[in-house]
Amino acid sequence: MLRTIALTFLNEFRLLVQDRVGLFMLLLAPLVIIAVAGFSLGNLYGARMTAHTYTLPLVDDDHGAVARAIAAALADESAVTVVRVANLDRARVIVSDRDRAPLAIVIPAGTTADLAAGRDAHILLYVDPIKRLEISAIEFRIADLCRRVTAGAQAEVRARLADGSADLRARLSRISADLEALHSGIADYQRQLTNARSSAEGQLQTQIRRQMRSTIDALRAQTQAAVQRSVEQARATITSQLAARRDAISAVTIYLVALQASERDFDRWFTALKAAAGSHAGAIPPPPAFPPPPTPAALAELAKPIDLAFTAPPIPIPAASNAVPAGAITIKLPPPPPALPVPQLRADLEALAPPALPVIPGTLGWTERPVSGANANVNSFDQYVPGFGITFLLIGMLLGISLGLIDERDWGTLARLRVSGAPLSGTLIGKLLARFVVGLLQMVVLFAIGYALFGVSLGRSPAMLLMPAAAISFAAAAFGLIIACVARTHDSVMPFGTVVAMTMSAIGGCWWPLDFEPWWMRDFAQFLPTTWTMLAFNNLMIRDLPPISALWPSLATITLGIVFLAVGLFGASRLYD
């Protein structure tokens, strides 16, 4: 039993050493796939990038500090090469035409001003949706750059605020000291005012009494003089009036004397009248009696002049003592106020309110926009439906063409066809044509399912997708013919052909964006039909470009298919003829 087990165990190793296909699948095939995936996705998992890995066109419409900071920071990145361009159109061309140009950076006008004014500012990233993995890696660095620019601007403002705060604290300390000195000076001044007030009140009372006495004496003298002048004036007035009266009385006296004489004359006349009347004298009434004239003594008394001599009444004199002349009152002034730090205090208080506080800068961010005008957010199935469709198209051609030819050779079918007079070239072309149609239908069905289940984009003209699909079907059929010539046994077709098909798919951009691969893989990918087919599909489905954009890649795929076909026909003519 043990011997059987041991012999069986050793025999398996002997068979494995003799089985080249098995050894290939155990060692070489995994190494090939691992190498392709490792080199392609090394940047995604943090592998060190070589210098100038990416080309980034930069459009500076701001020409400010932020633009200079971004350009300087990008220049320090060894993985990127910054190309300054004048406008967005030139940047679009660079992103579209260069392999390692996943996005363009546009710094809008006013970015620096918005950031300085405290508003959020955004730089614009015009991206190629096909290059999503590269875009993500660069956007991560740009986000870090935006954070650094924002942090630097805010740190500068914080430093200015710190300096201002220190200056403010120093000013507050000086103001506090000035206020203490002001409070102390006011207290001393209040005490001095209290003492000066008490002293001034006593001096004022004494000096007021002296001033009042002096004023009363002066008023008394002035009053006596005024009364004397009034008496003299009244005396002169009355004297002048009495002189006129004496003249009038003299005239009255003369009149009365004349009246007495007239009375005597009237008596004589009346007596003569009676005598002349004769018998009628009794009829004449007696004349009226004249009033008796005043006595001469009374008239003499009336004419006597009035004696106006009288003495002015004396003004009472108050008790005079210690009289002082007017204006002699003097009051001791209060002490001058102490010198207070008012000017310095005013200057410090005005400095507490600066004309403009520093503005905290806003946040610098970025906004993503598609460089071709399509949607920047790509459906992952837009990449994987055509990519894996091409992969399984290649594997299907291995089953249909490579294995079919080898089986027909082993079964003698090809020999019988030759005996019947059918040329080998006609047989091969018929087989390739049939598989071409099958491959084309396979791609159409996959796109229909992808559209129905996964919502893949069919571009502006879905019918145009038939052109790259037909081109890759033709190239894949020719590829199957080559594998049938290289892998000459049935058992070696699938291992060898599958590894080659998967390698072509991976390097050609079917599994991930082509631009994420190292330069030597991208250069090698230019000779693979999968590269050009994926470019056509991406232009139509993801970039949403016009149908004409798929024409040149499809022609390149057809050209490579013709080369594959020529090589395959040459090999088949030597192997199967």
Mind listing the pLDDT tens digit for each residue in 362-379?
Answer: 677 767 777 666 565 667
Which residue type sits at 78?
A: S
The whole-number pLDDT of residue 51 equals 47
Same-domain pairing of 400 and 251 = no
pLDDT of residue 372: 64
Domain span including residue 226: 51-375
Unique residue bearing structure tokens 């003829």: 577
Kindly state whether residues 172 and 158 are assigned to the same domain. yes
Amino acid 376: pLDDT: 56
Q: For residue 4, is it within any domain?
A: no
Q: Which of 350, 375, 400 is the C-terminal boundary of a domain?
A: 375
Please report the pLDDT score of residue 302 as a whole number. 61
Question: 127 and 227 in one domain?
Answer: yes
Any domain includes 441:
yes
- Whether the CB-CB separation of 188 and 351 falls below 8 Å is answered with no
Shared-domain flag, residues 402 and 362: no
Q: Is residue 342 part of a domain?
A: yes
Domains of the chain: total: 2
Q: HSE (CB half, 13 Å, CA atoms) of 234?
A: 12
For the chain, how big is the Rg over CA atoms in Å? Answer: 69
Residues 342 and 392 in one domain: no
**180 vs 172: CA distance, rounded Å:** 12
What is the pLDDT at residue 323? 47
Residues in the chain, pLDDT under 50: 16, 22-23, 25-26, 45-49, 51, 320-324, 326
Final residue before a domain boundary, out of 375, 401, 422: 375
CA–CA dist 131, 368 (Å, integer):
13
Same domain, 332 and 394: no
CA 277, distance to chain mean position in Å, is 148
The pLDDT value given to residue 479: 92
Residue of 467, 189, 206 whose CA lies nearest to 335: 189
Selection from 463, 175, 185, 220 nearest residue 320 by Cα: 220
Pairing state between β 103-107 and 121-127: antiparallel
pLDDT in tens, 294-311: 667 666 666 666 655 555
**One domain for residues 101 and 172:** yes
37 occurs within a structural domain: no
Question: Is the domain of 515 the same as that of 386?
Answer: yes
Q: Please report the pLDDT score of residue 264 as a whole number.
A: 78
Give the pTM: 0.56
Residue 67 lies inside a defined structural domain of this protein: yes
Q: Using an 8 Å Cβ cutoff, are 462 and 540 in contact?
A: no
| Residue where one domain finishes, among candidates 356, 375, 394 | 375
Kindly state whether residues 368 and 387 are assigned to the same domain. Answer: no
Q: Beta strand 103-107 with 80-85: parallel, antiparallel or unpaired? A: unpaired
Q: Is residue 32 part of a domain?
A: no
Number of other CB atoms surrounding residue 114 within 10 Å:
20
Please tell me whether residues 151 and 199 are part of one structural domain. Answer: yes
- Whether residue 281 lies inside any domain: the answer is yes
Do 371 and 497 sit in the same domain of this protein? no
> Does 22 reside within a domain?
no
* Co-location of 347 and 399 in the same domain: no
What is the pLDDT at residue 30?
Answer: 53
